[in-house]
Amino acid sequence: MNLTGGISWHWMAWRSQTRWAPTAHAIEQWLLQSAQALPSKYKLEKPSLLLIGASAGWMMSSQWLSQFARVDTFDIDPLAAFLFKWRHGAALKAQNTALECHTQDALQNLPVLLEAHPNACVFFDNVLGQMRFQHAAADWQLVEKKIQHFKVQLKGREWGSIHDRMSGRLNARIAVDSALPIRQPEWNEQHWLTQLDAQSPWLDHLTQNVFAPGSRVQDFAWNFSPIYRHWLQAAWVRP
């Protein structure tokens, strides 16, 4: 299965919606709270959004997306545009939010997109953590350099990201009715991984430097399957 898209991925995501719902809800609440903290210039007029790596928006919030005047989605998966419209199109139309879905590599074309949409917010939807799968394991430094380059390109822009920080198998199966682990501010990384019931070693997605030190980073647990969990991180970068 291609972790970045394809029919098998979408079939699995559709079947996993109940399991993924607590994380999707937590992400929605974080996005809506973040919207309240937008700079005043964005509150005067609804901004537009470039949603990069959108896939079908399986974990994305229609309510949050409707805060924007226009949403442009980008994904290399040819199925993503159709499925994103199927999942979110009606809700956005009801709120007069224009939606345009593009099939292209937005990471490769980022400078062109930023120039074409100078006032848009940018959000990377669970895509930066997938970059390590596009390169050989030995090329981890190249992945980190590319992420750093994105940050330079985005300087002065309102942008955010949610992405995998680490992922892996668990010591025990996740009970159906178990609550999601919630990271406390005083917990260090090892304590958090213990709360996630991580079975060492976990996969490092090479995203530890996406956000600058001191950023208000939100951590999420994602029960990907009964025996596999992801640690997601999210934050906004203000201009």
CATH number for 225: 3.40.50
Residue with the bigger pLDDT between 1 and 55: it is: 55
Note the pLDDT tens digit of each residue in 86-143. Answer: 999 999 999 999 999 999 999 999 999 999 999 999 999 999 999 888 777 667 788 8
* Containing structural domain, residue 113: 7-237
DSSP string, 55-105: TT-TT--HHHHTTSSEEEEEES-TTHHHHHHHHHHHHHHHTT-EEEEEES-
Summarize the confidence of residues 147-156 as an average pLDDT.
92
Assess if residue 1 is contained within a domain: no
1: pLDDT confidence band, cut at 50, 70 and 90? very low
Q: Is residue 2 part of a domain?
A: no
Q: Is residue 60 part of a domain?
A: yes
Query: In this structure, are residues 160 and 117 in contact, taking their beta carbons and an 8 Å threshold?
Result: no
Nearest to 111 by CA among 77, 78, 157: 157
Tokens 């210039």: give the residue. 41
- What burial class does residue 118 get, using C-beta atoms within 10 Å of its C-beta: 0-12 exposed, 13-18 middle, 19+ buried? exposed
pTM given for the model: 0.93
| Residue 206 placed within a domain | yes
Assigned domain for 112 exists = yes
- 38 within domain boundaries: yes
Q: Which pLDDT band holds residue 160 (cuts at 50, 70, 90)?
A: very high
Query: Does 195 fall in a domain?
Result: yes
Number of structural domains found in the chain: 1
Assign 3-state DSSP to the chain and report helix, strand, coil percentages, each to 5. 40, 25, 40
Residue with the larger pLDDT of the pair 172 and 46: 172
pLDDT-wise least confident of 26-40, 88-102, 205-219: 26-40
Using the predicted structure, report yes or no on whether residue 159 has a pLDDT greater than 90.
yes
